[in-house]
Amino acid sequence: MRAPILTAMFALAGCSAPVVPDFTYYRMPRPQPGEPHATPAFADPLVVDAFGADGLYADQALIYALDPDAQQLRQYHYQLWTDPPVRILQRRLIASLRETRLSAQVTDELPASRPAVRISGVILRFDRVPTLAGGWNAVVALKLRAEARDGTPMVDDYYRAEMAAADASMKATVDAYGRALDSIYARFQDDLRKHGGAHAG
């Protein structure tokens, strides 16, 4: 009797479902501090809206390319951001603007009736891209717009940054995403100060 029972047990064990990998959630590293202003550059508050995104970039999964030209993209099944990128990028820009004291008030919410500089962004690329040398790059491309209190565009431009990951780990790529965003946001703030001179306090 034992032999048939053992045979059946081994057969059931061989037919058991494969173990499903655990989900891993990634949080962006803290932004690198920018050079703070002694006094706010803008008298009006800065309001940063949630970013927009279409297709893959609206989802919570990390995106990777199959080729160095990033013509073929896929989503990781178990590698996710802690929040949708449209929120992560918004909060990081708010933190960056507060750090540099571009305005005395930087927020994500303000009544439409309140005069403010309103900032919006669209995620165009947010990819983990393989290199020909066998490594990975974090590629970020955004469209960023800032409007004065009367709706006049002060900045309306495209920004792109590509940073190499320190190694092949996902954490290294996430750190590279942070550096890429810091580079973009620094350039955006420079443009905002340059084109917003007439609106500065």
CATH number at residue 95: 3.40.50.10610
> Which letter does DSSP use for residue 20 in this model?
P
**Cα dist from 161 to 118, 149, 165, 186, 190, whole Å:** 23, 29, 13, 11, 15
Beta-bridge mates of residue 130? 136
**pLDDT per position as a tens digit, 24-74:** 999 999 988 777 777 788 889 999 999 999 999 999 999 999 999 999 999
> Is residue 15 in a domain?
no
Q: Domain range spanning residue 119?
A: 45-199
* pTM tops 0.75, yes or no: yes
Say whether 182 sits in a helix, a strand or coil.
helix
Domain count, the chain: 1
Where residue 170 falls among pLDDT bands split at 50, 70, 90? very high
Q: Would the pLDDT of 1 be above 60?
A: no
Strands 136-147 and 117-130: antiparallel
